[in-house]
Amino acid sequence: MKQRIIALVIMIFAFALVLTGCSKGKETLYIFNWSDYIDPTIVSEFEQANNCRIKYSTFDSNENMLTKVKSTTESFDLIFPSGDHVSILQELGMLEELDKSKLMNYGNLDPQLLAKATSFDLGNKVSIPYAWGLTGLMYNKEYVPEEIVASGGWNILADSFFDGKNKITMLDDAREVIGAALIYSGYSLNDTSEAAMTAAHEVLKVWDRNITQFDSDSYKNEVPDGTTWIAQAYNGDALQQISENANLGFILPKEGAAMWMDNIVMLKSSKNKELAYKFIDFMLDAEIAKRNAEYTQYATPNQAALQLLEEDFVNNLLINPDDTYLQKCHMIEYLGDRVKSIDQIYEAIKLN
């Protein structure tokens, strides 16, 4: 009996070694994406369909992503930057020009959104639109009275109700934070004129009295548990939380909001380009893109997927605002050296 047990243990151990060896022998795709930004079942399906392994890492801001990509010895294959950072990465010579003939599902993308993407990727040469969205305010109804958010504007952040409570957060993103103050002040978030910068800085000095921290990820847990009462938030992240907690709310401020488009790009340093192309094309499949939009709660640039989505999703104005509101929104653009004036104000506010 003891011999049988020993033999069984040896067999199990040998089998585990075989499995480990098989796993090590599989082709590996290295992906660097925002957190909570893809349906994990889709990742598993791709791995099974292609007999490969995906090593999936996440970041919480474009700035952190850029620092990691520039400094790490780890070679990512695919990353998911916002439009202005596509321009930065391209300017640094880090992006692979894409061979569209390897993307059978490329035609599923909305031509109008591809046209918008040319503002940061002329000719749509290096990026594939992944999702687009807006930035607003997520709040906990248990702690924030309805009359506070009823005004519907960015200046909720300065309401005296929050004085001394340390219950407000904003994103750890200079363009988003300064951008909100610029929009509230009547400027485009891409305006770096002296008048615009002065106005934004004065607004932020007032808001900062109520701001506890600048963080782009923890609010997803802290607003639901009451650690934070109101937070600047990406609409899809907020709606993911709202779907699980009826005590949460989200508004798009009446003055307008930052609008952004996140994209899939391939690094020139990628060691798995053919597998990377397969993954991009997989994500462009209409059914896969539909499922991913339902999971992330972000608007999809995939026109074929949009036709498959339920009306509740398509008609949700917090995901797909009407043209009247979109006219008040500002796409975050690449500013080159002009961004330094925004960064200076942001650092001054954070250090205050």
Q: How many domains does the chain have?
A: 2
Residues 254, 159 share a domain? yes
Asked if 121 and 91 sit in the same domain, the reply is yes
Do 155 and 218 lie in a common domain? yes
pLDDT band at 9 (very low <50, low <70, confident <90, very high): very low
Whether residue 10 is predicted with pLDDT greater than 50 in this model: the reply is: no
CA dist., res. 250 & res. 57, Å (int):
28
With beta carbons less than 8 A apart as the criterion, state whether 240 and 36 touch: yes
Measured distance CA(169)–CA(232) in Å, rounded:
6
Distance of CA 225 to the CA centre of its chain: 22
pLDDT one-digit tens code per residue, 128-180: 999 999 999 999 999 999 999 999 999 999 999 999 999 999 999 999 999 99
Q: Residue 73: what pLDDT?
A: 66
**pLDDT greater than 60 at residue 296:** yes
Residues 241 and 281 in one domain: no
Specify the pLDDT at position 15: 38
pTM value? 0.88
Average pLDDT, the chain: 92
Select from 262, 210, 319 the least CA-distant residue to 37.
262
pLDDT at 20: 42
Closest CA relative to residue 77, chosen from 222, 280, 254, 249: 280
Are 202 and 152 contained in the same domain?
Answer: yes
Same domain, 32 and 126: yes
Segment 32-42 mean pLDDT:
96
Q: What is the mean pLDDT of residues 116-124?
A: 94
Spatial contact of 60 and 217, defined as CB atoms under 8 Å apart: yes
* pLDDT digit string, tens, across residues 68-118: 999 876 689 999 999 999 999 999 999 999 999 999 999 999 999 999 999
Cα–Cα distance measured from residue 65 to residue 77, given in angstroms and rounded to the nearest whole number: 13
Same domain, yes or no, for 152 and 273?
Answer: no
pLDDT at 24: 59
Same domain as 331, residue 312: no
β pairing state of 258-266 and 127-140: antiparallel
β-pairing, 248-251 with 168-170? unpaired
160 lies in the same domain as 224? yes
Averaged over 274-293, what is the pLDDT?
98
Q: With a cut of 80, say whether residue 21 has pLDDT above it.
A: no
Task: Give the tens place of pLDDT for each residue, 210-250.
Answer: 999 999 999 999 999 999 999 999 999 999 999 999 999 99
CATH code, 313: 3.40.190.10
Domain containing 56 equals 2-132+261-321
- pLDDT at 8 > cutoff 70: no
Q: Looking at residue 74, what DSSP letter applies?
A: S
Same structural domain, 248 and 311: no
121, 149: one domain: no
Q: Is 168 helix (H, G, I), strand (E, B) or coil?
A: strand
The full DSSP string for 194-253 is: HHHHHHHHHHHHHHTTTEEEE-SSTHHHHHHHTS-SEEEEEHHHHHHHHTT-TTEEEE--
Residues 315 and 238 in one domain: no
